[in-house]
Amino acid sequence: MFKFSSILLDTTDGEIISDFWTTFLPILRYILFGIIIAAAIVMIITTLMQANDSNNSLEAFTGTAQESYYSQNKGASRDAILKRITISMAVIIFVCIIIFFVSELIAGV
């Protein structure tokens, strides 16, 4: 009476009645795809807005690193906030892609 491909067969009339999953999974995939696109755009913008720290690599060789109030409180700076946003967008993209492909596997069975 029940196939795993999310279609319920009515044996009395012979008609196919779609259940919740056949209507929900395509909508879920569209929503996930939209979230992935939006998070990717935000991640690109925040990556481009971050400052270039190319001088920090030279400080390791020369030993001229200066400790200042700004360098000690980088957690509250603009670059730290942008870095956190970039990392969170990458995690959101990763999770949405995993859910997207799992829904593809479920719908394809």
Question: Is the pTM here over 0.85, yes or no?
Answer: no
Distance in angstroms between the alpha carbons of the first and the last residue of the chain:
16
State pLDDT tens for residues 5-64.
444 544 555 555 467 777 888 889 999 999 999 999 999 999 999 877 665 556 656 666
In the chain, where the domains are located: 25-51+64-109
Q: HSE, CB side, 13 Å, CA atoms: give it for residue 55.
A: 5
* DSSP assignment string, 18-30: E-HHHHHHHHHHH
Residues 79 and 75: their CA atoms lie apart, in Å, by: 8
